[in-house]
Amino acid sequence: MPSVSSTAARGQSVSQLSNRSPLRQLLGVQVLGVGSFVPDNIVKNEDLSSLGCDPDWIIQRTGIRERRHAPPEMATSHMALAAAKAAIENAGIQPSDIDLIVVGTFTPDMPTPSTACILQDQLGIRCAAMDVSAACAGFMYAMITASQFVRCGTSRRALVVGADLLSRIANPNDKKTYPLFGDGAGAVILGSGSEEQGFLSYTLGSEGEGGELLCVPGGGSAERLDDESLAAGRGFLHMDGRSVFKWAVRVIADSISDVLTHAGVTADDVSLVLLHQANVRIIDAACENLGFDREKVVINLDRYGNTSAGSVPLVLDEAYQAGKIRRGDLVLLSGFGAGLSWGTALVRW
C-alpha cells in the first residue's frame, strides 16, 4: 500500500491513497434522525410504452420497474419539506432546534432564492441555509459539508436534504434516458456524536473533463434558453449512457476500495452498503469487484428509479426504517454522477 501522510485537527485527518481524490476522516458527528418522501404518482414501465419504450428492455438494462413523478403543482422544495418533517419527527426535535440547512439538488425550484432558503421559510425557522449542486453526488456533498459545521461547533442541529425532481428535466422523447429517472427526496438530522462515530473515511472527487457526458447544456449563463434551443431539447438532460456506465463502475470500485483501505477495514467488516440507485448493473458490478455480500446491499431502484440527490437518503431511510441499521454499524454510502462527481464514505453509525 502507498505510504499515508495525515494531519489531524478537531477530529479531521487527510491522506492520499490514490491519485483520484484525497481521503479524509471526520469523527464526532452522528445521524439523529432520517426521513424521506416520494410523490404518490407511480409510473410503471408499461405506462411508457406510448413513448416507444420497451418495458422488458428497461428492466433488463437497468432493473427499474417503476418510478414516481411529481404532479405539476409540486416543486423540489415541497418534496424536501416532506422529507425534512419526517426526519425532524424521527429525531425527536423541533424545527426551531435546527440552525443549519444544506440541500443537495440540481433541480432547484428556481435559480434564486435557493431551495434551502425556501425550505427554511416553509419550516418557519431562522437559520443559515444553502444549496449544494453535485447532481447524483449532491446528498454526499451536502452531508459532509454540514458535518464539518457540526464538528467545528458552529452547528448544533443540521438538516441535510437530498432532493431532485428529474421528471421535469428528462426528455420524454429520449426513450433511452427518460425511463431512468424519477422524483424523490430524503433527509437526515445531524448532531454531535462520540469520537467513535462519524466518517471513519470519506472522499469527495470530481472529473470535470467528463462533464459533457451527463449535462443539461441550456439554461445557464453560458447558453440562454430561447425558442430555438428549447425546441432542440437543450433544456433537457443529455447523457452518454455507455460512457457514464463505464465511468461509474470504475469510480465506485476505486473510491470504495480507497475508503475501506484508509479506514483499515475490509468488505466483510461493512454492515450495510447503500449506493446511488442509478442502475442495478452498476451496483452488481460494484459488488462483484469489491466482494460484498449481496445481502448487505439495499436496492430500491426497481420502485423509484434514479432520483439523483434523493437516491442515497431514500435508500438510507428505507434501510433504517426496516431496522437494518443499528448503533455501531459500519455503513458504506456512495453517490456518483454528473459533474462528473462522486462522494463515498464509511460511517460509524
> Which has the closest alpha carbon to 281: 303, 239, 248?
248
Pairing of strands 272-275, 341-348: unpaired
Q: Are 309 and 135 in contact (CB under 8 A)?
A: yes
What is d(CA 50, CA 170) in angstroms, rounded to the nearest whole number? 16
> Which has the closest alpha carbon to 346: 255, 281, 285, 235?
255
User: Mind giving me the DSSP string for 118-156?
Assistant: HHHHHHT---EEEEE--GGGHHHHHHHHHHHHHHHTS-S
Residue listed under C-alpha cell 476522516: 25
Q: Which three cell numbers mark 308?
A: 439523483
> Which has the closest alpha carbon to 312: 294, 289, 336?
336
> 3-class DSSP state for residue 32?
strand
Residue listed under C-alpha cell 422523447: 173
Count CB atoms within 10 A of the CB of residue 304.
25
Active site residues: 136, 276, 306
What Rg value do the Cα atoms of the chain yield, rounded? 19
Q: Are 339 and 135 in contact (CB under 8 A)?
A: yes
Q: Which three cell numbers mark 189?
A: 438530522
With a CB cutoff of 8 Å and minimum separation 6, the contacts of 260 are 201, 266, 267, 270, 332, 346
> 3-class DSSP state for residue 273?
strand
With a CB cutoff of 8 Å and minimum separation 6, the contacts of 50 are none
Instruction: Give the H/E segment covering residue 228.
Output: helix 227-231
